[in-house]
Amino acid sequence: MDVRPTLLPEDPYQETGSGPLPWLRFGLSLLAGMVVVYLLLTAPTHWVRIKYWLAHRGAPNTPAEFVDLELPTDSLSSAVGAALSQPRFYVQEPTPLSTVAVGDDADTPPVSVSQELALSDNMLVIPKIDVRTPVVWNSASEESIMLANLQRGVAHYGFTSLPNATSGNVFITGHSSYYWWDKGRYKTVFALLDQLTTGDQAFVQYEDAVFAYTVRETLVVSPAAVEVTDPTEQPTLTLMTCTPVGTSLRRLVIRFDLARVYPAEEQNAVAAPTAREPEAVTEHVPKPAPAAPRNRDVIELLPAL
């Protein structure tokens, strides 16, 4: 009886080193390298997002009412004070600037005013995500000019409307992420824009008026969807940034409706609501916006990244 061992067939991949395993290793190494590069490029943005998540973990994403837009007053400061006296208003990590008493009960602790609008000419403020940024008005659509303007704040598309109380689409763009070595200070200004929900508030001070807006809808569109810059019959604020953060694949678009127009104040200090009757507010007369460029349909929505 032949008891010699049976030799198995030789592995055809043993000598050549070919086969799926080396290619799989190469693919995983390449993917890991790309993830590391992505995290390095977008580290400031992810740090902003991590801090926000830590401060709000476990809390529902509900609208944050900073100003009582229903209060019959022409004073923005009074409207701020009224909102602070309502239990549904809450802001994480307070840094008190002043306090407003809640009710007449002396045992009731005061509500800290953790943020102040601190508005001034040509400013955009979004209290919920702690955005306070200058607005560069009437920016050209060319990429080099737009990116240069985004180093100074957020940029208004010059062929769209300027803030007014009658009609038009005020279209503003800003970075959610950008190269961390860029000298601009506003590379992550819209890093948390996706945290806004219907009813959240934004404020723009332009010339002699403060325009108060509330979120209507959120859209994600392609960079070629320039129709989001089209004029609107109702006064609208549109904010845009890139999504997912650190890429230029899509654009996140937040639409706001105009809720109130307040006269600008020398100092937007927080004050308790007053009982006086509201005074008439002169309608803010809009200035004509520059005409849209003839080749608008081939202009991609910036910024890129």
CB 85 within 8 A of CB 111: yes
* Unique residue bearing structure tokens 């002169």: 282
In terms of Cβ atoms closer than 10 Å to its own Cβ (0-12, 13-18, 19+), residue 69 is: middle
Q: Residue 283 corresponds to which tokens in the numbers above?
A: 């309608």
Mean per-residue pLDDT over the chain, rounded: 75
pTM: 0.71
Domain ranges of the chain: 39-55+67-298
pLDDT for residue 156: 95
Q: Which fold has domain 39-55+67-298?
A: Sortase; Chain: A; (2.40.260)
Q: Which residue has the higher pLDDT, 235 or 293?
A: 235
Q: Taking residues 203-215, what's their average pLDDT?
A: 93
Q: Taking residues 34-40, what's their average pLDDT?
A: 60
pLDDT for residue 262: 92
CB 238 within 8 A of CB 172: yes
Choose the most confident range, by mean pLDDT, from 75-79, 254-258, 286-290.
254-258
In terms of Cβ atoms closer than 10 Å to its own Cβ (0-12, 13-18, 19+), residue 55 is: exposed
Q: Taking residues 166-171, what's their average pLDDT?
A: 95
Of 55-59, 87-91, 255-259, 270-274, least confident by mean pLDDT is 270-274
Of 196-200, 264-268, 272-276, least confident by mean pLDDT is 272-276
Residues 6+ apart with CB under 8 A from 209: 163, 165, 261, 262, 263, 264, 284
Give residue-wise pLDDT tens across range 173-190.
999 988 777 777 899 999
Q: Which residue has the higher pLDDT, 158 or 11?
A: 158
Q: Taking residues 197-224, what's their average pLDDT?
A: 94
Spatial separation of the C-alpha atoms in residues 89 and 68, rounded to whole Å = 10
Whether 299 has a pLDDT exceeding 50, the answer reads yes
pLDDT for residue 52: 87
CB 123 within 8 A of CB 133: yes
Of 70-84, 92-106, 178-192, 277-291, least confident by mean pLDDT is 92-106
Whether 215 has a pLDDT exceeding 60, the answer reads yes
